[in-house]
Structure 1
Amino acid sequence: VKGAAETFTEMNVWDVVVNAGKEAVISVPANHSLSLVVLRGNVTFNGKDQAGAGQLVGFENGGGEVRIAAGSEEVKILLLSGVPIAEPVVGYGPFVMNTAEEIREAINDFNSGRFGSIH
């Protein structure tokens, strides 16, 4: 399903559930970076690498198929893939910008109340 949000580059955010003892095969476009977050259960990727709940798994760039196998219990995974933005990225806490100066500005804006307030 196509969401309402617009992005600068193509991306996918999928909620994936694989039943116990089953395997899913997901094709990823060649121009996408791919990360998977295991939300529940234990999973085996491509027949060899394993991860459990709370772990982030990153894949080398380049398309292809990823095999996701569930063990004795159902697994739930958040799939994140997309075309890299090819820009510098600087992160600090919840702030993600292009430069350290932009991070400082964002922190100052937040501390000054320019991000708004929740009542």
Structure 2
Amino acid sequence: MRTMTIERILSASPASDGGGVKLYRIVGPDGMRGLDPFLLLDEFGSESADDYIAGFPPHPHRGFETVTYMLEGRMLHEDHLGHQGLLSSGGVQWMTAGRGVIHSEMPQQESGRMHGLQLWINLPARDKLSDPAYRHLPAEAIPVVTLANGIQVKVIAGAFAEGDTQTLGPVQGLATDPLYLDARLPANTELLVPIPAGHRALVYLIAGRLQVAGQGLIPRRMAVLGAGEGVALQTGEEVAHALVLAARPLGEPVAHYGPFVMNTQEEIRQAIQDYEQGRLVD
């Protein structure tokens, strides 16, 4: 297996979104070039309710998928199609916006820690105006593989292989064939994660210290990986908690404006007009 090397490392930047939720934006409009099909990754996390209590009131999306992963806390999803899901610790909401969704994500707590991540994944041109879809995945619906050395790998999307055993995540059959793994490594352990050939792969460190392809990574940093069929992770004296993400590149032009991701500026103008005139979700 040809292991991947790091092309570059991206750093988080403080930001806010929704009703004023404080977060760290790891990938955004300027950083998404060359990360096809990934568009954005936000991490939100605070003990202070003032940082998250305003939540994400109703807002539109078109042309891509959002993946919200709650590590700690409780947040309610509601959309114009009548979908509703209470996202609690360990759960995932995977939403395909397609031609248009108006949804909200609001905290269901007034104190305590809230911590999670939201990933945006692009859709191919043929699917950008497809019917919206919503998957609610409670923690118990997501398999966790525990290796002999104590490493735990939570398989949200795609597959994780250990020897002759393959574990499939509950999210399958999407256009970009995504891999979404939550890996927790004890101190002084190693993990080789197979990556489908041709996929763009990223490793984002949530906590601890981690060697990725032989280079050190600290929290709120993302390693962008080059070509290969696997990524090597290794810890020293500290434990590590990381996301391993991969997906098939689309190789299509990207036009982005706020909550809309299309292929051309004309399509962006149409999305804005549709939203303003109440046609986005027709």
TM-score with structure 2 setting the length? 0.36
Correspondent of 1:68 among 230, 233, 237: 233
Q: Give how far 1:37 is off.
A: 1.3
Correspondent of 1:22 among 184, 189, 200: 189
The superposition leaves residues 27-73 of structure 1 with CA deviations (integer Å, 9 ceiling, x where unpaired) of 212221111111112211122x222111111111x223311112322
- Asked if 1:79 is matched to 2:278, the reply is no
The residue correspondences of 1:33-112 to structure 2 (distance < 5 A) are 33-47=200-214, 49-60=215-226, 62-112=227-277
Structure 1 pair 45/2, CA: closer, same or farther in 2 (3 Å)?
closer
Structure 1 pair 88/25, CA: closer, same or farther in 2 (3 Å)?
same
Structure 2 counterpart of 1:91, one-letter code: H
Q: How many residues were matched structurally?
A: 114
RMSD over aligned Cα atoms: 2.2
Structure 2 counterpart of 1:9, one-letter code: T
Structure 1 counterpart of 2:224, one-letter code: G
Equivalents in 1 of 2:223, 2:259: separation in Å?
Answer: 21
SS class of match (1:80): strand
More strand as a share of residues: 2
Select the structure with the greater relative contact order (CA < 8 A; seq sep ≥ 6).
1
Equivalents in 2 of 1:69, 1:81: separation in Å?
Answer: 19
Equivalents in 2 of 1:2, 1:98: separation in Å?
Answer: 29
* Percent of matched pairs sharing the same residue: 32
Equivalents in 2 of 1:64, 1:4: separation in Å?
Answer: 21
Equivalents in 1 of 2:272, 2:247: separation in Å?
Answer: 28
| Unaligned segments of structure 2, at least 5 residues | 1-167
Equivalents in 2 of 1:107, 1:89: separation in Å?
Answer: 16
1:43–1:51: 8 Å Cα contact kept in structure 2? yes
2:196–2:229: 8 Å Cα contact kept in structure 1? yes
Equivalents in 2 of 1:84, 1:40: separation in Å?
Answer: 28
Equivalents in 2 of 1:58, 1:83: separation in Å?
Answer: 14
Structure 1 pair 50/114, CA: closer, same or farther in 2 (3 Å)?
farther
TM-score with structure 1 setting the length? 0.77
Structure 1 pair 106/86, CA: closer, same or farther in 2 (3 Å)?
same
Equivalents in 1 of 2:237, 2:256: separation in Å?
Answer: 38
